[in-house]
């Protein structure tokens, strides 16, 4: 039998960011507790900044009864001369019964001691207190706090607890707060608690007391209000999804309002204004005709009929924020980009200062420019040596997320070359899963130099990712190098680059770093892992060429008829598995005895003597050899008694295999 269960844990305002980080785990953790207690059921989880709510429409009133069977020692061991031995007595003790209560059972190997009992499931009401405490203790929000005289801690003080099962208050306690049928509404409605008699009453009264419990409804309300503001004011609101979720998490009754700031602040770079509003005030930026305006959207948590004072208050608070930004900006322009201060800024222990890091990156950039036929080496050196200079600016000190971007603005104002200031803006790209990439080869070299120095430098001082820990983002850096190589068709041979530049990185384990890169390929490329293994088996080192080979081979492997091809070409691989094909392979046509040999060799020669514009065409041609190969295997005996003929036939198969292995080692492919 099932009954409704409502659990509300009332707290002081939850900080949005740590809460949202844990949010994806909350339902999973409660479900695990339910299942561990054999009370698994469907439920809904709702939240506001002041409450966590678990609602179960049908919750089991008890654990299910359970039949437990236990098997003991063979009877001939359990009893001696009709008396129970230590084995029988021990088994009875384990079962919690007297030895006379034990049974016997024969499952085909002779009779053994046997005990069967039905365990009656515990009443849910008796388990809920411990389950709720376990649930709260399992939540990980990072920092926690203590309050009053308590020694235990949580992210914020617990102020009320409601556990209502079948419309009855369950005897439960959390952080010294006992369960009741009381809850709290919006503070602007009442500071006093309200009581309720059943779950439906709770939801109804919560709504009447100014609380929109369901986060989806709060989100919908905000978006609808923003859409209306856009229509009325002929504007476009930049709906930052991350900020939207944060606003949903900190409001119980949201209302989107439009405010203004002085137009003089539009002199600031757009990103400075948007970042200042988002990070400091949780405001949304507003655009007109594609340009940032001196308006903003604030989502209020107030419940009132007159929002004028709230709008005025938010406008007043924003002004000094933007004034500080303007002060920093003008100071930075006056001081200009200067990298001398980087000499005192430590990069990582063992790798010197940020200035020394730039010097290492400049060496990498010069090396890559030679490999990629980029002639502007002086500009590259300037771009790299200025790339971290904005770390010394007041603006980046205030907003670290603007590093690189402020360098772009300051270099542009200083009339630096467009290639230089664009590279400063794009030096950290790609910086996420769906991030943009550097827009040109020049910027790509600057970005690659930064990432390669991070990898070689940090590996050389033992800062290597382990498990899920990657504090320096080295996995992301490796993926970024691959994405840049593919986007700009750059011939990046990571093994060669690491080998050529390793002299600048003492104690670098080159083999370990190359293996790290190769492991990342399996995360970066969305292909059958065996296909990637096959391509790597071709001894291809160029990242861009690896990507082209994968794009050509993977669709063929995924095709419906590949199994037919696979059996033929696996046979090719098996025949030459003991051969050393690294040397030149020769064919003596005078030793051909069968037409199938001649046909295969002619088809092979015709295919391999042509030039192909891409791997797709070359693979299509090679796979067309299946007809000649099948005829060969059906009609030609490879292991001829004449050793020369046998060798010649194996060499013919080896030539076919070797032609494939220029693209991929086909024996590695599994489907």
* pLDDT reading at 203 higher than 80: yes
Place of tokens 């009370």: 39
| Per-residue pLDDT at 168 | 95
Q: Summarize pLDDT for 286-305 with one digit per residue, the tens.
A: 999 999 999 999 999 999 99
Tokens found for residue 490: 């750059």
Q: What is the pLDDT of residue 532?
A: 93
**Cβ-defined contacts of 573-578 (< 8 Å, 24+):** 573/657, 573/666, 573/667, 574/667, 575/638, 575/650, 575/653, 576/650, 576/653, 576/654, 576/657, 577/667
Per-residue pLDDT, 70: 87
Please report the pLDDT score of residue 208 as a whole number.
Answer: 95
Residue 566 in this model has a pLDDT that exceeds 90: no
Burial of 233 (0-12, 13-18, 19+ CB in 10 A): middle
The model's pLDDT over 428-449, given as tens digits with 9 standing for 90+, comes to 999 888 899 999 999 999 999 9
- Whole-number Å distance between alpha carbons of 272 and 278: 10
Q: What is the mean pLDDT of the chain?
A: 93
Task: Tell me the residue ranges of DSSP E strands in 144-290.
Answer: 158-165, 168-169, 173-174, 177-178, 182-183, 194-195, 236-237, 255-260, 284-288
pLDDT at residue 148 is higher than 80 = yes
pLDDT for residue 95: 87
Residue in this structure with the two tokens 């405001």, named with its chain if needed:
283
Secondary element (H or E) of residue 329: helix 308-335
| Mean pLDDT within 196-219 | 96
- Weakest-pLDDT range from 72-86, 371-385, 529-543: 72-86
Query: How many CB atoms neighbour CB 1 within 10 A?
Result: 7
Give exposure, 494-531, as e/b (b: 16+ Cβ within 10 Å). beebbeebeeebeebebeebeebbbebbeebbebbebb
pLDDT surpasses 80 at 671? no
Report the predicted TM-score, pTM, of the whole model to 2 decimal places: 0.80
pLDDT band at 121 (very low <50, low <70, confident <90, very high): confident
pLDDT over threshold 90, residue 108: no
Q: Give the residue-averaged pLDDT of 98-124.
A: 87
pLDDT in tens, 335-379: 999 999 999 999 999 999 999 999 999 999 999 999 999 999 999
Residue 92: alpha-carbon gap to chain centroid: 53
Contact (Cβ atoms closer than 8 angstroms) between residue 525 and residue 533 = no
pLDDT for 103: 87
Whether 582 shows a pLDDT value over 80: the answer reads no
Given this model, what pLDDT does residue 567 score? Answer: 82
The CA distance from 341 to 355, in Å, is 8
pLDDT value of residue 366: 97
Among 333, 321, 326, residue whose Cα is nearest residue 281: 321
Q: 3-state SS string over 447-475?
A: HHHHHHHHHHHHHHCCCCCECCECCCCHH
What does the pLDDT average to over 393-412?
Answer: 95
What is the reported pLDDT for 371?
94
210-214, 638-642, 667-671: least confident range = 667-671
Q: Is the pLDDT of residue 67 over 90?
A: no
Give the angle subtended at the CA of 467 by the CAs of 462 and 468, to the nearest 5°: 110
Decide if 550 contacts 531 (C-beta within 8 A). Answer: yes
Of the candidate ranges 5-9, 451-455, 579-583, the one whose mean pLDDT is the lowest: 579-583
- Are 59 and 4 a contacting pair, CB within 8 Å? yes
Residue 279: enclosing H or E segment and its boundaries? Answer: none
For residues 337 and 248, give the distance between their C-alpha atoms in angstroms, rounded to a whole number: 40
């Amino acid at each position: 039998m099932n009954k409704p269960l409502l659990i509300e844990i009332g707290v002081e305002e939850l900080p949005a960011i740590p809460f949202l980080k844990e949010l994806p785990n909350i339902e999973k953790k409660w479900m695990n507790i339910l299942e561990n207690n054999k009370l698994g059921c469907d439920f809904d989880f709702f939240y506001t900044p002041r409450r966590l709510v678990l609602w179960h429409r049908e919750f089991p009133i008890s654990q299910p009864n359970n039949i437990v069977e236990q098997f003991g020692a063979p009877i001939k061991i359990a009893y001696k001369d009709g008396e129970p031995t230590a084995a029988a007595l021990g088994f009875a003790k384990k079962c919690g019964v007297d030895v006379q209560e034990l049974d016997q059972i024969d499952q085909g190997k002779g009779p053994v001691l046997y005990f069967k009992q039905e365990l009656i499931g515990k009443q849910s009401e008796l388990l809920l207190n411990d389950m709720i405490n376990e649930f709260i203790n399992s939540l990980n929000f990072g920092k926690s706090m203590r309050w009053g005289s308590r020694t235990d801690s949580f992210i914020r003080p617990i102020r009320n607890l409601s556990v209502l099962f079948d419309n009855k208050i369950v005897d439960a306690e959390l952080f010294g707060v006992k369960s009741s049928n009381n809850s709290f509404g919006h503070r602007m409605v009442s500071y006093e608690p309200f009581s309720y008699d059943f779950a439906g009453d709770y939801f109804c009264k919560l709504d009447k007391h100014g609380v929109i419990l369901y986060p989806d409804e709060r989100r919908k309300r905000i978006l609808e209000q923003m859409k209306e503001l856009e229509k009325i004011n002929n504007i476009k609101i930049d709906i930052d999804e991350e900020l939207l979720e944060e606003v949903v998490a900190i409001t119980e009754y949201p209302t989107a309002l439009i405010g203004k700031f002085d137009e003089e602040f539009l002199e600031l770079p757009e990103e400075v204004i948007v970042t200042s509003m988002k990070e400091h005030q949780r405001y949304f930026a507003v655009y007109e005709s594609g340009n940032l305006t001196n308006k903003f959207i604030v989502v209020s948590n107030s419940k009132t009929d007159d929002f004028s004072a709230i709008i005025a208050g938010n406008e007043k608070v924003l002004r000094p924020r933007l004034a500080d930004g303007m002060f920093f900006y003008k100071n930075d322009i006056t001081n200009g980009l200067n990298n001398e201060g980087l000499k005192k800024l430590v990069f990582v222990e063992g790798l010197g200062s940020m200035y020394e890091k730039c010097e290492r990156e400049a060496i990498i950039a010069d090396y890559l420019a030679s490999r990629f036929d980029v002639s502007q080496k002086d500009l590259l050196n300037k771009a790299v040596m200025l790339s971290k200079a904005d770390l010394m600016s007041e603006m980046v000190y205030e907003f670290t997320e603007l590093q690189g971007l402020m360098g772009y603005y300051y270099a542009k104002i200083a009339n630096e070359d467009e290639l230089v200031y664009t590279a400063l803006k794009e030096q950290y790209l790609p910086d996420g899963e769906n991030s943009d990439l550097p827009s040109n080869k020049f910027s790509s070299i600057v970005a690659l130099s930064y990432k390669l120095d991070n990898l070689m430098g940090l590996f050389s001082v033992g800062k290597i990712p382990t498990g899920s820990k990657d504090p320096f983002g080295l996995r992301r850096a490796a993926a970024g190098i691959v994405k840049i190589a593919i986007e700009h068709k750059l011939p990046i041979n990571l093994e060669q680059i690491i080998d050529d530049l390793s002299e600048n990185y003492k104690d670098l384990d080159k083999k370990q770093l190359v293996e790290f890169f190769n492991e990342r390929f399996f995360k970066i490329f969305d292909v059958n892992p065996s296909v990637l293994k096959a391509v790597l088996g071709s001894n291809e080192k160029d990242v861009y060429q690896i990507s082209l080979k994968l794009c050509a081979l993977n669709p063929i492997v995924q095709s419906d008829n590949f199994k037919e091809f696979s059996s033929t070409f696996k046979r090719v691989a098996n025949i030459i598995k003991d051969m050393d094909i690294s040397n030149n392979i020769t064919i003596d046509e005078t030793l051909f005895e069968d037409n199938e040999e001649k046909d295969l060799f002619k088809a092979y020669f015709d295919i391999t003597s042509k030039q192909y514009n891409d791997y797709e065409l070359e693979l299509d041609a090679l796979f067309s050899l299946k007809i000649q190969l099948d005829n060969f295997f059906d009609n030609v005996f490879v292991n001829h008694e004449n050793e020369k003929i046998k060798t010649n036939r194996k060499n013919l198969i080896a030539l076919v295999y070797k032609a494939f292995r220029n693209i991929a080692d086909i024996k590695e492919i599994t489907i």
